[in-house]
Structure 1
């Protein structure tokens, strides 16, 4: 993690909502964005006369980005690449005004039956309708209001939590780091937002990446990114509205199963140095396996 200096500039709550960048080690939660092309995980049933199995359901993983979901729908329905993305204009999705037509964050993870005549529009609408039921009912809507957020901002925080937390048990702490940084006027400095801007799933951003010109650059821009950066699941949403109590401002995964949270910058820098040593020592062994 880089050094973080609090800013005194006053911002609206939406612009102030930015969190601490995750550490230098991959914090990949179960269901976080995975490397490579997204793959639909269908449930199969006997198919046509030739015995070809056909999918009956599409499984959307927690933390998938919209682009991964579009690819999964195209593959499951055997459509040309780009068909689902191009169907957005006619899908008539019931998105919040803040989304400005972008469904990122509202394609709720889950298992979706294909039905008799599945189309991209029907599947996307089912995901968004599911998200609206989850997000705009109690306790999510009330929890967002309790934290002086609107629902869209809470979903945006949840998407960062989903991408950054190494485990579900860490989600509440990651959310608290976000709130603490926002309250202090600090940039979030999250690698996950930069990786989203660059369209990649690598967990660690290089130093040169922190200078990119993007509204998703949470090293240079204050507050939350303009949209969610993935489609979070229920655990991440619960963490976003009910963060764990604590004064943490920094966190880094030193090694698998050991993510350290602290409010002390010097301690955090020592943790980062240890994480870097562990990563370097592990690299030769990883290379030998491949």
Structure 2
């Protein structure tokens, strides 16, 4: 190891040379710094944009209980702002999750509910949403068990529920209407439900004529025994509950003689008297 003596002169340190940038060097440094700032800003702006971007607020489409498929299609057209008939035309090609018995007809499976609608919603996607929802509800254990208990299929249960939905004056009457349907089916009697004729004629009325009852249609439940070939509307939860658990009773007939006053009976003569009262209330005579 080298030692310095007190008399030794201090070591000599070479003078430092200050680096001086030429004009070209200063320009290069300035441009490089500017590029760094530009790149940083380019990264920051998308991040800020992504954070401040607001998502579209969905609108809502309400499908009430009992609406027919044709009415649902019209509501979807209006909600999506597409030309009339667009949804009806899309239905057969939408690959909807339906039971085999439906044969591609979604009637009964356009589940009544409130659905979100955005600019990305299409008729096909909305119809799939509705039928998916129906499949989940109608595939529930209590529905399938109720159908087996009544010796009908789930699809037939949906058909019964659609008639209940159309015929019952109030929710309180639904169980009794369902019982009338089951009782008449069990006895091999035609249902004779005006709602099935209305469906065939694409109308909604309380006035059924003798001529109407002679209509050549599989939906004419005056002329044909058993259930119509498809549901006649899209039933809600209460109607489905009534269809699987009808109120116990012997009734074979009913008529709503006035709002809130539906008469149920198993006696034909009494039914005739009730119908006469209905006609008087409607101003139709005896």
1:71 aligned residue: 74
Matching of residue 91 in structure 1 with residue 94 in structure 2: yes
1:272 aligned residue: 275
Listed as ranges, the gaps of 5+ residues in structure 1 are: 1-53, 283-290
Matching of residue 109 in structure 1 with residue 112 in structure 2: yes
Matching of residue 131 in structure 1 with residue 137 in structure 2: no
Q: Which of 1 and 2 has greater Rg?
A: 2
Q: Is the 8 A contact 1:176 1:243 kept in 2?
A: yes
- The equivalent position to 2:192 in structure 1, one of 185, 189, 192, is 189
1:179 aligned residue: 182
> How has the CA–CA distance of structure 1 residues 168 and 265 changed in structure 2, closer, same or farther, with 3 Å as cutoff?
same
Moved over 3 A (4+): none
1:219 aligned residue: 222
TM-score scaled by structure 1?
0.77
Listed as ranges, the gaps of 5+ residues in structure 2 are: 1-56
Distance in 2 (alpha carbons) for counterparts of 1:67 and 1:203? 20
Cα distance, 1:88 vs. partner? 1.4
Cα distance, 1:94 vs. partner? 0.5
Q: Is the 8 A contact 2:58 2:116 kept in 1?
A: no
2:159 aligned residue: 156
Cα distance, 1:76 vs. partner? 0.9
Q: Is the 8 A contact 1:55 1:76 kept in 2?
A: no
1:27 aligned residue: none
Q: Is the 8 A contact 2:58 2:118 kept in 1?
A: no
**Residues 220-251 of structure 1: CA distance to partner in whole angstroms, max 9, x if unpaired?**
00100000000000000000000000000000
**Residues 141-186 of structure 1: CA distance to partner in whole angstroms, max 9, x if unpaired?**
1111111111000000000000000000000000000011011110
Distance in 2 (alpha carbons) for counterparts of 1:72 and 1:181? 35
Matching of residue 209 in structure 1 with residue 212 in structure 2: yes
Matching of residue 118 in structure 1 with residue 121 in structure 2: yes
Matching of residue 80 in structure 1 with residue 83 in structure 2: yes
Cα distance, 1:206 vs. partner? 1.6
Size of the alignment, in residue pairs?
A: 230
Distance in 1 (alpha carbons) for counterparts of 2:210 and 2:74? 30
Distance in 1 (alpha carbons) for counterparts of 2:144 and 2:282? 40
Equivalences for residues 49-60 of structure 1 within 5 A:
56-60=59-63
Cα distance, 1:137 vs. partner? 1.3
1:167 aligned residue: 170
Cα distance, 1:202 vs. partner? 1.4
Which structure shows the bigger proportion of residues in helix conformation?
2
Q: Is the 8 A contact 1:176 1:246 kept in 2?
A: yes
Query: Secondary structure of the residue that 1:280 maps to in structure 2?
Result: coil
Distance in 2 (alpha carbons) for counterparts of 1:88 and 1:277? 44
CA RMSD of aligned residues (A): 1.6
